[in-house]
Amino acid sequence: MKNGQKMKLTKIAAVTLSAALIFGCDDLEFQETTSSTGDTDSGSETDTGDTSSDAGQYSILTNVEAGSSGQMRYDVAAVEGAELTEGQVDVNVFYSSSETETAYISLFNADTNTAGLVGEVQLDDGNIKVRSGDSTTVGTFTTGAWVNVNVTWSVTDGTYTVTVDGTEIGTYDFHNSAATGVDTVGFKIGNNALTDSEEFLVDDFTIYSDEAGTTEVFFDDYEDYVVDELLDGAGDPYNDETQPAIVGGAASDDTDETDDSDTTETDSTQVAAIADTLETDTGELRYQISDGIAVGQVNVSFLYDESETETAALTVFSTGGTSTSSGEHIVDLQLDSGTVSLRNHGDISTFTPGEWVDLQINWTTDGTSSADVTITIDDQEIGTYVNDYSTDGNDDTGAKDIQIRYAGGSATTEFVLYVDDLTLYSDAGTTVSFSDDFEDYEIGVVLDEIEGSSYHGNSSEATVAAQPE
């Protein structure tokens, strides 16, 4: 979860569009279903496809006023200080099966009009169109269901590439051949002459400053707004519009009822807290694996204090031993004052101290002394790296220990590293080998001193604490 909000479960059920009532549109009937096929009967006024997104909130665009259209635009050049000469936009959108107007995903140069158009994807009654000189139909999509749209561009090539639901549709010349980059990314439903659109939904809007999608410069999943809030530039990052987007979704307090289905979010109430007040030891929480894992994955969430200057680390050790200094680690991922680094590879990313950060490490060992390691932070894959390590003369069967350490050596700290949702997989992420959300302990207990504890006795100053506010 972004911006410091950390939840135990993700909504996987359908989401009610509260904003539909505001605009008097009652055609979207959200149902709990796993079908991804929308109702394509032109006489129907109900979408029966899977209208749930991974998150509970999203942006809603409508066109109900003459003389303008429903729009949401983000000026990336103003924020980054320069236009993007290459990049990528990735977004999930929902186009109603009863919609008759066109939805647009547009890349603009300096002018946010046709003259400044770099490239555009249009969704029109099940047809995918692109703008490259003329508007041309290039494919189809399923109405009444969430659709992923990805657009990359390069000024050097003068082209943009469109991918829908993982399938590349094609590469097209810039609409404006003289474009020198992308300044603004815009979404629109309808046009100035039309006034009767359905809701067009937008979620997980991401912009990268490179074609490969490795450097994220903007992300919005709309979870940090109040439902029904206008996205009009007042306290949000979007441009002011005549018909601005509005935040939709099921508010967290819409119901007090709890059932057996996974339709509610559950707050984390307890976490692990690792301190380092001893000059003779390092703050540590260690889990020892019974058998080496050659192909595996570990996930965990850290909360690193905004005033901290010491290092927190997530380390996977080989069966060769548990020393980073002796190079016996398969991977050693370190967080230090907003910088994420990988031992043997240097700085690889950043994070925000004072906010929860989700870490994921995947590894594949070759059975000798080398591993391919993939790092993912807050659901964004950072990269894959090759790490050579020492087995200290022992047979290598993969990962043997998972270690979370804090500060270290003779260093001490007045702060605490909070840890939650530690999960180990014995494969690439489907078979859980160990998991702990720290909810089943009494607050204050020392984790390695509990009778029958899962944690190694070398753990130090690792206790259970209440979820920090």
- Residue 388 to residue 366: CA distance in whole angstroms: 10
pLDDT score of 219 more than 90: yes
What is the pLDDT at residue 322? Answer: 60
402, 419 Cβ separation under 8 angstroms: no
187, 69 Cβ separation under 8 angstroms: no
- Dihedral over Cα of 75, 80, 83, 84: its sign: negative
Residue 446: pLDDT band (50, 70, 90) is very high
Q: Pick 90 or 196 by higher pLDDT.
A: 90
Residues 351 and 428 in one domain: yes
pLDDT score of 107 more than 90: yes
pLDDT score of 290 more than 90: no
Q: How far is CA 446 from CA 39, 77, 462, 465, in A?
A: 55, 50, 6, 10
Residues 283 and 180 in one domain: no
Q: Which residues contact 231 (CB under 8 A, 6 or more apart)?
A: 59, 72, 225, 238, 244, 245, 246, 247
pLDDT score of 28 more than 50: no
Residue 13: pLDDT band (50, 70, 90) is very low
What is the pLDDT at residue 135? Answer: 86
Residues 117 and 77 in one domain: yes
Name the range with the highest mean pLDDT among 46-60, 308-322, 422-436: 422-436
pLDDT score of 393 more than 70: no
What is the pLDDT at residue 250? Answer: 55
Q: Which CATH number does the domain housing residue 27 bear?
A: 2.60.120.200
Residue 47: pLDDT band (50, 70, 90) is very low
CA-angle at 371, arms to 368 and 376, nearest 5°: 160
- Residue 395 to residue 336: CA distance in whole angstroms: 33
If DSSP codes are grouped into helix, strand and coil, which group holds residue 305?
coil
If DSSP codes are grouped into helix, strand and coil, which group holds residue 243?
strand
What is the pLDDT at residue 73? Answer: 93
pLDDT score of 252 more than 90: no
Residues 194 and 283 in one domain: no
Residue 92: pLDDT band (50, 70, 90) is very high
For residue 145 the two structure tokens come to 């269901």
Q: Which domain holds residue 283?
A: 270-466
Residues 191 and 84 in one domain: yes
Q: Pick 325 or 434 by higher pLDDT.
A: 434
Residues 169 and 225 in one domain: yes
250, 15 Cβ separation under 8 angstroms: yes
For residue 63 the two structure tokens come to 């066109």
pLDDT score of 32 more than 60: no
Q: Which of these three, 219, 249, 279, is where a domain ends?
A: 249
pLDDT score of 2 more than 80: no
Does residue 327 sit within a domain?
A: yes
Residues 223 and 119 in one domain: yes
300, 438 Cβ separation under 8 angstroms: no
Does residue 264 sit within a domain?
A: no
Q: Which residues share a beta bridge with 303?
A: 356, 418
Residues 159 and 24 in one domain: yes
Residue 249: pLDDT band (50, 70, 90) is confident
Q: What is the mean pLDDT of residues 435-458?
A: 89
What is the pLDDT at residue 241? Answer: 76
Does residue 184 sit within a domain?
A: yes
- Residue 246 to residue 452: CA distance in whole angstroms: 52
Q: H-type helices in 304-384, by residue range?
A: none
74, 184 Cβ separation under 8 angstroms: yes
pLDDT score of 35 more than 60: no
Q: What is the mean pLDDT of the chain?
A: 80
What is the pLDDT at residue 395? Answer: 61
Q: What is the mean pLDDT of residues 122-129?
A: 94
Does residue 108 sit within a domain?
A: yes
Residues 192 and 318 in one domain: no
If DSSP codes are grouped into helix, strand and coil, which group holds residue 115?
helix
Residues 87 and 133 in one domain: yes
pLDDT score of 51 more than 60: no
pLDDT score of 224 more than 90: no
pLDDT score of 43 more than 80: no
Number of domains in the chain: 2
Does residue 106 sit within a domain?
A: yes
Residue 109: pLDDT band (50, 70, 90) is very high
What is the pLDDT at residue 262? Answer: 38
Does residue 5 sit within a domain?
A: no
How large a percentage of the chain has pLDDT more than 90? 50
Q: Pick 269 or 394 by higher pLDDT.
A: 269
Residues 451 and 374 in one domain: yes
What is the pLDDT at residue 469? Answer: 77
Does residue 352 sit within a domain?
A: yes
pLDDT score of 260 more than 50: no
Does residue 371 sit within a domain?
A: yes
Residues 242 and 352 in one domain: no
pLDDT score of 256 more than 50: no
Of 2-11, 128-137, 150-159, 310-319, least confident by mean pLDDT is 2-11
Supply the Cα-derived Rg of the chain in whole angstroms.
25
